[in-house]
Amino acid sequence: MSLAIFQGLDTLIFSIVAILVAITVHEFAHAWTATALGDPTARAAGRLTLNPLAHIDLIGTIALPLALYFVHAPIFGWAKPVPYNPNFVRRGRWGEMLVALAGPISNLLLAFVLALPGRIYWINYQALPTDQIYIFLATLVTLNVWLAAFNLIPIPPLDGSKILYLILDNLGVSYERIMWLEQIGPTLLLFLIFADSLLGVNILFRLLDPIVTLMHWFVGSSTIPFG
């Protein structure tokens, strides 16, 4: 599978629904884990739900992906971050890391489940599934895998930064230096995203491609030659 699948969809609805499903599961997983670790913030904010409307960010979830789709650019976006209070989360930095990892892990598990019908079809018939339902499932699998990989990048505000913070904390790095990373993280992330346009080098996808390949192998979608 590759991101090119998003450019060949018969309808834009596939992309919209896939994005909504992926981000809803991702953000719900954050909220559920934070709640399980003792933080009531997400529940109080109405984010402990699988209702997509609670997680949609008008720019990151709708406007930007639509614009990128119509200019045939790789699609990415974001949802409203789930609020949590680290003072309530049990196990300190370890608890924060678990809350962060819950999002990518949920996307991987969802991709694994959604890849099952295509894998079974391929094993039984040794043929390419061509029905719209399989194309839609392949879209969901691909998007969930890329969302998981992207969020594991150890740059704030992505989920992977919590793993980085735990490592730096255990190494005795000062709080001020960690906060400095918080400040420059979004700028660095935007540079990686738009490096292809600025420098002609797609740094982000070169970095993610080995991880995405490994994740596709894990979920089993590498056995489905959809794209």
- Look up tokens 């660095």; give the residue: 188
Instruction: Name the more confident of 43 and 130.
Output: 43
Select from 181, 133, 179 the least CA-distant residue to 154: 181
Say which range, 7-21, 98-112, 116-130, 143-157, has the weakest mean pLDDT.
Answer: 7-21
Instruction: Name the more confident of 199 and 150.
Output: 150
pLDDT score of 11 more than 80: no
* Mean pLDDT, rounded, for 49-77: 78
Residues 189 and 173: their CA atoms lie apart, in Å, by: 22
pLDDT of 104 reads 96
- Average pLDDT for the chain: 84
pTM of the model: 0.85
pLDDT score of 84 more than 50: yes
Percent of the chain with pLDDT over 70: 88
Residues 109 and 100: their CA atoms lie apart, in Å, by: 15
User: Any residues with CB less than 8 A from the CB of 117 and at least 6 apart, and which?
Assistant: 134, 137
Q: How many domains does the chain have?
A: 1
pLDDT score of 224 more than 60: no
Instruction: Please give the structure tokens belonging to residue 69.
Output: 């789709």
pLDDT of 72 reads 63
What are the residue ranges of helices labelled H in 126-202? 132-151, 160-170, 175-199
Percent of the chain with pLDDT over 90: 37
pLDDT of 225 reads 44
User: Any residues with CB less than 8 A from the CB of 58 and at least 6 apart, and which?
Assistant: none
For 122, the domain range is: 3-223
